[in-house]
Structure 1
Amino acid sequence: MAFNPLEERGLPLDQQIRSWRELNVEPFDPDAVHPYTRCRVITMNGIEVEALVFSHQFARHTNDKDLQRQLALSRYVDHQQQKVVNWLLPGWSSVLETTIAYEQVATDLTAWVARNEPDPYLKQAYEFGVLEDFDHLYRYSNLYEMIEHRKAEKIVDELTEVIPGRPTRAHHRHPFDNVRDNYDKQTAAAISKLHQLTITSAEQQTLNYYANVGPQYMEPIARQLYQEIGLIEEEHVTHYESLGDGSESWFEKLLLHEYNECYLYYSFFEQEVDPKVKQIWELHLQMEIGQLHAACDLMRRYEDRDPEALLPTELPNVLLFEPNKEYLRHLLATQMDLTTLGTGYVRDQHERFVAMQERLQGDGTPVSDMVIEQHRERFEGADYRSEQAGPYPQEAQDRAEAQWGGL
């Protein structure tokens, strides 16, 4: 049956604050957990952090104390939810292991969204970005074997391939060329708005994670790789956040945040294989339904608008974590040589792109290339790859050679 969170009662907001005992969840076992359970946990942590950041910004843009109090209550509950979700991650996983999981999230989540996005312009934005996250997975996986002497398939299993994407050195663009056209809030499909908010939240969380953990390494090459890819994550957040319609009111955006959380918790509850984690998704779904109702009440009160008129009458098809190997190989073969110019995409290294490359990399080799070079030096001329769908596509190799000088 179709699921409409607006028709569900959920857990009333004033009943949602929990005790320390309830928040003290047991982390999953990194050696036994399904890789996509880990991905769902990382995704929902990013979604909850975005909810917190948005709520704080909303509160800073009003002097209405009643509204600030309502936002504070909902935000405190979101903070408890974020703590539960993020504390499912085990403390004995290394930073690099979690990093590789973050890039598996970015790869398979963005690929699924691209496959299911109805708007051609938005679809292209996700297809462009996912080839870069795909390459980041490859770079970090090579670093992982060099530093920790382990292979990334221990983390991603055979669900996600580890092979080169668009070379990381080609991701450094002038900031002007990271700003995209936005969807129109009046005509955009509801699922397009949810996709944009989901991917922006996930990329923002990755940006924050790399900014915090990068300096913790002693190895210079690890510190430099987090610095380089961290700058690209800033580009990605700009790329995805600019797809949203900035004319949406604060209350419209609040409504979208709450509805999106309902959508994702419902989606993940439907597919979760870990019983304990599944219970958390179910509880948080009921809590988000209550928070959605509270957001609807705020819109009625402050904007005298019907929130139901802005939202779908039922949730879209569930968002799935699943392998995207064939789709990604198709993108490798057809879009490896793309870059951006203004709000569009081109196959030429234009003047602004070249100038940015010279400014950043004119005095040496980017560390993303050094990681692969050093891996090949240590492992008999071989880089680390996990290929399940056959040899690396020749079309991708040819495009990389022609545009970027190789992989």
Structure 2
Amino acid sequence: MSFNPLQERGIPLDRQLRNWRELNVDPVDPDHADPYTKCRIITMNGIETEAIFFSHHFARRCPDIDVKRQLAEVRYIESQQQRAVNWLLPGTASVLETAISYEQVATDLTAWVARMEPDPYLQQAYQFGVLEDFDHLYRYANLYEMIEHRKAEKIVDQLTEVMPGRPTFMQHRHPVDNVREPYDKNAAQPISKLHALTIMSTEQQTLNFYMNVGNLYMEPIARQLYQEIGLVEEEHVTHYESLLDPGETWWELLVNHEYNECYLYHSFMETESDPKVKAIWELHLNMELEHLRLACELMRRHDGRDPEEVLPTELPAPVTFEPNKGYIRELLATQIDYTTLGTGYVQEAHERFQRMQERINGGEKSPSERVIDDNRTISGREYRLESEGPHPMHSLQMH
């Protein structure tokens, strides 16, 4: 059955405010929750955080006080939504367990988007990035075994493999080589805009998370690994945000953000296995429908255009968390040795890439390599979680 958010009415804004009791949601069980439920929570935390950041930036550039007041009112509700979503994660889970779930999101959500993306250039951007987040999962899983003496299969539950991707130490590129060509807002399909906003938002949240939790560890190797992977996440946010067309107006961006929230809450409501979490997705969808309606009114009034000119008239197929093992293995076999040069991709280690490697690694093994060596020393072997079948053959060195 088709669902058109532009024709639906949600909860009136003046009825969306929640009190402390309503915001005090019950967290999921860290030992028994569906790993993909945690992935959906992390995703929506990133989406809501981006909505808040965007609204603040818009307000700082907007001269119309009435618009700023409406942004503030909606943004306060978005802030309540962000807290309700983020507080679904259990406080009993360690920071490292949550980091592993973050990388499971980055792996399976980006792989799904890459599979569904109709634009070849945008698809390549997601394929390139997913092999790097896939490797981060492997590095954190080894750190987890080493310092918490537990295995990542408890967290990812066989849904996502844990093995080397594009080696993290080879992901450090010159900043200018992380900037991609943007899509053309007049030519790009609406689903491409939603994909780009979704992946940018989730990668931004991963960057925020590592910036704030990496210093909470005492173990030097843990602190250093969070630093290294966090710097790669900075590259990833640059990589993905540059895909957005800078010619989109503030009003277009506003309705895209609100529409994307409707799309994702509806998707997760349709696919959620936990009834209590599903009820939150449904509640937030009904809130977002009103936020979208208000944003559309602003666009008509201030941009002189109908939102239907830039938005889909019905929701695309639901975003789905599902295993992507075969797809990622195919990418490992064919794209492991890619790096970037300008706005494109190459398989040769060009001079600027090599200089960056020499400077950032300083002639020593990076933390992401040392964590594997250290775990081999402590555990007798590195940690991997692979499905049955041969490991994909790939070179770990650039040509």
- Flag whether TM exceeds 0.5 (same fold): yes
Structure 1 CA distance for aligned equivalents of residues 27 and 39 of structure 2: 14
1:16 CA drift (Å): 1.2
| Deviation larger for 21-30 or 119-128 | 21-30
What SS does the corresponding residue of 2:193 show, helix, strand or coil? helix
* CA drift at 1:12: 1.8
Partner of 2:152: 152
Cα displacement (A) at 1:114: 0.2
- For 1:283, the aligned partner's letter is L
Could you list the per-position Cα deviations for residues 297-324 of structure 1 after superposition, in whole angstroms to 9, with x for gaps in the alignment? 1111112211122211100000000000
Q: Secondary structure at the match of 2:11?
A: coil
**Equivalents in 2 of 1:125, 1:238: separation in Å?**
12
Q: Which amino acid aligns with 1:403?
A: M
Q: Is the 8 A contact 1:39 1:105 kept in 2?
A: yes
Paired position in structure 1 for 2:232: 232
Aligned twin of 2:389: 390
1:350 and 1:280 map into 2 onto residues whose CA distance is 49
Residue equivalent to 1:43: 43
1:321 matched to 2:316? The reply is no
Report the AA paired with residue 292 of structure 2: L
Shift of 1:362: 2.5
Letter in 2 for 1:35: P
* Greater CA drift, 322-331 or 7-16: 7-16
CA shift, 1:378, in A, is 1.5
Q: Which residue of 2 aligns with 1:218?
A: 218
The amino acid that maps onto 1:384 is: Y
Deviation at 1:47, TM superposition (A): 0.2
Deviations 1:85-136 (A, max 9, x none): 0000111100000000000000000000000000000000000000000000
Work out the number of aligned pairs and report it. Answer: 399
Please, which runs of 5 or more residues in structure 2 have no aligned partner?
none
Q: Distance in 1 between matches of 2:367 and 2:329?
A: 25
Equivalent residues of 1:326, 1:389 under 8 A apart: no
CA distance in 2, matches of 1:97, 1:368: 17
1:252 is matched with 252
Give me the whole-angstrom Cα distance separating, in 1, the residues matched to 2:292 and 2:194. 14
Residue identity (%): 68
Q: CA deviation at 1:242?
A: 0.2
> For the residues of structure 1 that align with 2:312 and 2:49, how far apart are their CA atoms?
24
Q: 1:198 and 1:291 mapped to 2: Cα distance?
A: 18
Alignment of 1:374 with 2:374, yes or no, is yes
Rounded to whole Å, the distance in 2 between the matches of 1:304 and 1:181 is 28
1:403 aligns with 2:398: yes
Quote the offset at 1:344 in angstroms.
0.2
Q: CA deviation at 1:75?
A: 0.3
Q: Which residue of 2 aligns with 1:347?
A: 347
Per-residue deviation at 1:387? 0.5
Shift of 1:391: 2.9
Q: Secondary structure at the match of 1:60?
A: helix
Amino acid at match of 2:138: Y
Q: Please list every run of at least 4 consecutive aligned residues from structure 1 whose deviation after the TM superposition is greater than 4 angstroms.
A: none
Q: Which residue of 1 aligns with 2:118?
A: 118
2:88 maps to amino acid: L
User: What is the CA–CA distance in structure 1 between the aligned matches of 2:334 and 2:132, rounded to whole Å?
Assistant: 14
Deviation at 1:84, TM superposition (A): 0.3
d(CA) in 2 for partners of 1:339, 1:54: 30
Q: CA deviation at 1:389?
A: 4.0
Q: Which amino acid is the alignment partner of residue 75 of structure 1? A: R
Q: Partner residue of 1:209?
A: 209
Give the equivalent residue in structure 2 for 1:311. 311
Match of 1:12 in 2: 12
Once the 2 structures are TM-superposed, how far is the Cα of residue 286 of structure 1 from its aligned partner? 0.5
Q: Is the 8 A contact 1:13 1:294 kept in 2?
A: no
| TM-score, normalising length: structure 2 | 0.99
Q: Distance in 1 between matches of 2:349 and 2:304?
A: 50
The residue identity in structure 2 corresponding to 1:385 is R
Cα deviation, residue 390, structure 1: 2.0
Tell me the distance in 1 between the aligned counterparts of 2:125 and 2:47: 20
Q: How many Å apart are 1:13 and its aligned residue?
A: 2.0
Deviations 1:141-178 (A, max 9, x none): 00000000000000000100001000000100000000
CA distance in 1, matches of 2:250, 2:310: 14
User: What do residues 322-357 of structure 1 show as CA deviations (whole Å, max 9, x unaligned)?
Assistant: 000000000000000000000000000001001101
Q: Secondary structure at the match of 2:61?
A: coil
8 A contact 1:182–1:243 mirrored in 2: yes
Counterpart of 2:392, as a letter, is: P
Distance 1:158 1:390 in 2: 14
Amino acid at match of 1:73: E
Please, which runs of 5 or more residues in structure 1 have no aligned partner? none
- What does residue 129 of structure 1 align with? 129
Classify the secondary structure of the residue corresponding to 1:345: strand
Q: Determine the C-alpha separation between the residues in 1 that align with 2:303 and 2:323.
A: 43
Deviation at 1:15, TM superposition (A): 1.9
Counterpart of 1:295 in structure 2 is 295
- Alpha-carbon separation, structure 1, partners of 2:197 and 2:249: 15
3-state secondary structure, aligned to 2:126: helix
